[in-house]
Amino acid sequence: MKVLANDGISPAGNEKLEAHGFTVDTEKVAQDQLAQHIKDHQVAVLLVRSATKVRQELIDAVEGTLKFIGRGGVGLDNIDVDYARDKGIIVQNTPAASTRSVAELVMAHLSGMTRYLYAANQQMPLEGEQKFKELKKSYSAGTELQGKTLGIIGFGRIGQEVAKIALGYGMQVVVSDPQIDKATVSLAFFDGRSLDFEIATQPMDSLLAESDFITLHVGGAGKALVGKSEIEKMKDGAAIINTSRGGMVEEEALMDALDSGKLSHAALDVFDNEPTPAMKVLMSPHTSLSPHIGAATLEAQDRIGVELADHIIEKLG
């Protein structure tokens, strides 16, 4: 049975599939040639990440050939899931595999912003030799995370993992999620001990008012969750992090808030117009940016590949 990993698959996932008799092709097929390729090569399993789109037109074209669509990662925005399932095609993602990777990126951005590391890393090679003292003065107004309040909007797997790390930093954690009343997060230590924290959710308005930093972990696309009115309710000098979906924060309102000093910083791993983010966002001295790499660690890729392989073997092996 043939598998087309159009957006790639980890060696561990590839090896597991081949050990169970599947033939895995990792050649990248252009979107407009994908349907013909699947039919010509009798591809039963299509594996994608965010680059390849699986819409109704493609699903119709490969009906009877394609049996399984696997999405490496959490979101399924690039797949017409219900339509595919109505046609008898299995659709499966890997919601847990990248949880830790995204959570650690959130904290990396947060630490970098509060200590001006992104700016210092740019300026030190350019001016470090001649203006060391001036740079030291410029970047000595950083703040510590311990004792600060982190607001988490969306308290599913990733939100709860962020909470664990933040608690380890000594931060206060407040959360808002209309689907969850409360959740218990377990902070595990290297020696096998653990501490449980029961965290109750609260209205979003109170989270906005209380938080020194806010991070978004919500699924889906559509209307922005944080716009001008929500920003106005935030603390002066607060910062926001979005590693969830482009469009969850209104970028124009965000840039205005950064320019005016209402917000101090913003960290973005996702953007309105990927893969061509707005130049104003890219050039702002108040933004910490990464190119949609939340789930992209070596460990996460291994977990994603193996998890997809397990699903395929279970359903089709």
* Together in a domain, 41 and 119: no
Q: Which residues are catalytic?
A: 245, 274, 292
- CA end-to-end distance (rounded Å), the chain: 9
Domain CATH for 88: 3.40.50.720
Average pLDDT for the chain: 95
* Together in a domain, 90 and 103: no
Is the pLDDT at 182 greater than 60? The verdict is: yes
Residue 220: band (very low, low, confident or very high) from pLDDT cuts 50, 70, 90: low
pLDDT in tens, 76-110: 889 999 999 999 999 999 988 999 999 999 999 99
- In the prediction, which pLDDT does 280 show? 97
Residues 6+ apart with CB under 8 A from 273: 246
- Pairing type for strands 23-25 and 182-188 reads unpaired
* Together in a domain, 78 and 180: no
* Together in a domain, 215 and 246: yes
**Average pLDDT in the 197-201 region?**
97
- In the prediction, which pLDDT does 223 show? 79
**Average pLDDT in the 170-194 region?**
95
* Together in a domain, 66 and 206: no
- In the prediction, which pLDDT does 96 show? 87
Give how many domains the chain has, as a whole number: 2
**Average pLDDT in the 185-211 region?**
96
Is the pLDDT at 221 greater than 70? The verdict is: no
Q: Higher model confidence: residue 222 or residue 20? A: 20
Residue 317: band (very low, low, confident or very high) from pLDDT cuts 50, 70, 90: confident
pTM over 0.85: yes
**Average pLDDT in the 181-201 region?**
95
* Together in a domain, 136 and 243: yes
Is the pLDDT at 222 greater than 80? The verdict is: no
* Together in a domain, 185 and 67: no
Percentage above 90 pLDDT, the chain:
92
Burial class (CB within 10 angstroms; exposed 0-12, middle 13-18, buried 19+) of 38: buried
- In the prediction, which pLDDT does 124 show? 96
- In the prediction, which pLDDT does 304 show? 94
The span from the CA of 77 to the CA of 139, in Å, is 40
Range of the domain at 190: 99-289
Residue 157: band (very low, low, confident or very high) from pLDDT cuts 50, 70, 90: very high
* Together in a domain, 284 and 170: yes
* Together in a domain, 68 and 114: no
**Average pLDDT in the 60-70 region?**
97
Is the pLDDT at 295 greater than 90? The verdict is: no
Is the pLDDT at 211 greater than 90? The verdict is: yes
Identity (one letter) of the amino acid at 45?
Answer: V
* Together in a domain, 222 and 279: yes
* Together in a domain, 172 and 263: yes
* Together in a domain, 72 and 106: no
